[in-house]
Amino acid sequence: MASVEVKNLSRSFGNHKALDDVSVRFDDGGFYALLGPSGSGKTTLLRMIAGFEFPNAGRIEMDGESVERVPLEKRQIGMMFQNYALFPNMTVSDNIAFGLEVRRLPKSEIRDKVREALDLVKLGTYGERKPHQLSGGQRQRVALARAFVINPRVLLLDEPLGALDKALRVEMQVELKRIQREIGITTIFVTHDQEEALTMADRVGILREGRLVEEGEPETIYNRPRSLFAATFLGDANILPGTWSGEGLVMADGKVIRVSGSEDRTPGATMQCAVRPERMRLVEGDTASSDNVLTGTVIRRMFSGVSSTLHVETAGGEIRVVVPNAGDSRLRDGAPVTIAWSADSTFPVA
Ligand code: ATP
């Protein structure tokens, strides 16, 4: 296993900067998810770590040693992509053994490693099948086994679950995480699925137009993103604009909102805060114990199974609140509601 660090990495295609001065460290044994909209540079970064592309500027280090000029086959990297191709006329075992045979390992060692890999991906009895005799999820496991059986220093996964339906995808997320933990391999995972990144990784980095805008542990980056882009890209967020009074955010209608972590701002400065809709709740009666309270009218209710999102018209604009579905039929359009939330859930974003 190895740590990987990229420093001030840039790569252009013609005039287009696919990666622009990106620095990020992937810890030894860590599971890092690279997240970002289409075209933000995720695959380009992965391809440069793998050695398919070369940077215009910057460094790529593995365990502190520069590898940006080391050819792909010498970097000891395992890879799995969305459109992974298994050899259709070879058995599952032979597919997994392929990389070991290329490396001319002794036959008995290959047999042992393939057996171990099959057990790890829970396909112990499937070794003699051909790929077309497997389900989508099983084929995915074979591709994964083939990537890690060569004992790589780093595992690169580019949208590996992208082709699976929702249920299978969730099942494979759990499996992939288990396998990654079991072998403790440094893993870099590219996805454009926010939930997938937050569930699986122990660190998440967000790319936008070739730049790394923010990174952190999943809970931190979700609960307290620093940028408006990360706040809205990682989930839904109510954005409250206003000015800093020294004690709180003053909205256009004069209402003061209690905020956490703005003490060093200059009074009078414009600012905006974000609040996740699930951090807001509906209250009735006494609101004295709540940091922040807004009243409004329900204008739309979006039902989504376990919860509903209420769109509420307030004097400060439209606010979205997520409420559990408890069969409360009073919350229909036009219903007057009071929304409350804590200063703790109200964070400034730039
Ligand atoms: P997606 O989620 O759609 O896969 P991505 O974040 O992985 O997107 P990249 O594939 O890294 O994005 O592409 C980043 C930018 O670089 C895009 O604008 C893309 O068109 C451009 N690009 C990538 N590879 C090449 C290439 N070989 N030649 C020209 N432009 C390229």
Q: Whole-angstrom Cα distance, residue 333 to residue 317?
A: 16
How confident is the model at residue 69, as a pLDDT?
85
Q: Specify whether the CB–CB gap between 147 and 80 falls below 8 A.
A: yes
**CATH code, domain with 331:** 2.40.50.100
163 or 14: which leads in pLDDT: 14
Confidence bin at 1 (pLDDT 50/70/90): confident
Domain annotation covers residue 200: yes
191 CB under 6 A from ligand 1? no
Domain annotation covers residue 144: yes
Q: Whole-angstrom Cα distance, residue 247 to residue 259?
A: 8
Nearest to 170 by CA among 139, 137, 147, 206: 137
Same domain, 165 and 51: yes
pLDDT, average across residues 115-126: 93
Q: Whole-angstrom Cα distance, residue 201 to residue 189?
A: 8
Confidence bin at 65 (pLDDT 50/70/90): very high
Percent of the chain surpassing pLDDT 70: 100
Q: Specify whether the CB–CB gap between 19 and 45 falls below 8 A.
A: yes
13 CB under 6 A from ligand 1? yes
Domain that holds residue 188: 4-228
Domain annotation covers residue 327: yes
Supply the DSSP symbol for 266: P
| Beta partners for residue 34, in sequence order | 190, 205
Which range, of 22-36, 197-211, 253-267, averages the lowest pLDDT?
253-267
Domain annotation covers residue 267: yes
Best of 16, 22, 192, 211 for a ligand 1 pocket test (most atoms within 8 Å of beta carbon): 16
Domain annotation covers residue 254: yes
Q: How far is the CA of 55 from the centre of ligand 1 (A)?
A: 14
For 263, list phi and psi in degrees, rounded to 5: -55, -30
pLDDT, average across residues 179-204: 93
192 CB under 6 A from ligand 1? yes
How confident is the model at residue 347, as a pLDDT?
94
Q: Whole-angstrom Cα distance, residue 154 to residue 257?
A: 46
Cβ contacts of 216 within 8 Å, gap of 6 or more:
203, 204
Structure tokens given for 322: 């997520």
Same domain, 211 and 260: no
Structure tokens given for 187: 């893993």
How confident is the model at residue 68, as a pLDDT?
85
pLDDT, average across residues 298-319: 92
Amino acid at the residue 47: R
Same domain, 263 and 202: no
Same domain, 218 and 270: no
Domain annotation covers residue 234: no
Same domain, 120 and 263: no
How confident is the model at residue 288, as a pLDDT?
81
Nearest CA to ligand 1 atom 10: 43
Q: What is the pLDDT of residues 227-251, one digit of tens each?
A: 999 999 999 999 999 999 988 999 9
How confident is the model at residue 209, as a pLDDT?
97
pLDDT at 84 over 80: no
Amino acid at the residue 226: R
40 CB under 6 A from ligand 1? yes
Same domain, 246 and 192: no
Other beta carbons within 10 angstroms of residue 200's beta carbon come to 23
Confidence bin at 192 (pLDDT 50/70/90): confident
17 CB under 6 A from ligand 1? no
Helix H or strand E encompassing 209: none
36 CB under 6 A from ligand 1? yes
**CATH code, domain with 52:** 3.40.50.300
346 CB under 6 A from ligand 1? no
pLDDT, average across residues 265-276: 93
Nearest CA to ligand 1 atom 19: 39
How confident is the model at residue 114, as a pLDDT?
96
Mean pLDDT of the chain: 92
Give the β-pairing of 238-244 and 249-250: antiparallel
How confident is the model at residue 226, as a pLDDT?
93
Report the atom number in ligand 1 closest to the C-alpha of 45: 11
What Cα–Cα distance (Å) separates residue 329 from each residue in 85, 332, 334?
Answer: 51, 6, 12
Q: How many domains does the chain have?
A: 2
Same domain, 315 and 209: no
Q: What is the pLDDT of residues 12-27, one digit of tens each?
A: 999 999 999 999 999 9
41 CB under 6 A from ligand 1? yes
Domain annotation covers residue 233: no
Torsion region of 266: left, alpha or beta (phi above 0 gives left; psi -120 to 50 gives alpha): beta
pLDDT at 326 over 80: no
